Amino acid sequence: MKKILTILTFFTFILIGCGGSSAEKTAVDFTQKLYTSNTKTVVDMLYLGDEKPSKADMDFVFQKIDSVLEQNKAKAKERGGFKKADVIKKDIDGNTASIRVQTTFKDGSTQADTMDLIKINNKWKIRL
């Protein structure tokens, strides 16, 4: 009986740990993707308003994100590459959050940025 209880407790913790996204995890994932991913992946993490953006608006967003990714990848390359991102400050209030993330590069240098998030349909998105 004790063994079964231990196993059930273990699986409960695993399920809790794998639960929905958190503002902190979203901010860290977004930061990592800004240095290592593609435009569509990054745009999918953005909150672009309640109404569906027009094609022209989406084209503009893709161009801007493309430019940001290019700059970030060049910056990371100059610093030996992206190493990790960590939350250093968080302020979560219901469905909104402000998260400060510190990016660490492989040369040891760091950069801190604050991003605002909004929870839509139980999923955290980056608010521009």
In a domain, 10, yes or no: no
pLDDT for 10: 37
CA distance readout (Å), 63 to 35, 58, 69, 71, 96: 16, 9, 10, 13, 27
Q: 126 pairs with which residues across the strands?
A: 46, 117
- pLDDT (average), residues 53-75: 96
In a domain, 110, yes or no: yes
Write the Ramachandran bin of 94: left for phi over 0, alpha for psi from -120 to 50, otherwise beta.
left
| CA 92 – CA 96 distance, rounded (Å) | 6
In a domain, 96, yes or no: yes
pLDDT for 11: 37
In a domain, 116, yes or no: yes
- pLDDT (average), residues 67-87: 97
Average pLDDT, the chain: 87
Does residue 2 register a pLDDT over 70? no
CA R_g for the chain: 18
Contact 87, 71 (CB under 8 A): no
User: Strand 46-47 to strand 82-93: parallel, antiparallel, or no bridges (unpaired)?
Assistant: unpaired
Q: What is the CATH number of the domain that holds 89?
A: 3.10.450.50
pLDDT for 21: 79
Span 38-63, pLDDT tens digits: 999 999 999 999 899 999 999 999 99
Q: What is the largest CA-CA distance in the chain?
A: 63
Contact 120, 94 (CB under 8 A): no
Does residue 5 register a pLDDT over 60? no
In a domain, 102, yes or no: yes
The answer to whether the predicted template modeling score (pTM) of the entire model surpasses 0.85 is no
Coil, strand or helix at 2? helix
Q: 68 pairs with which residues across the strands?
A: none
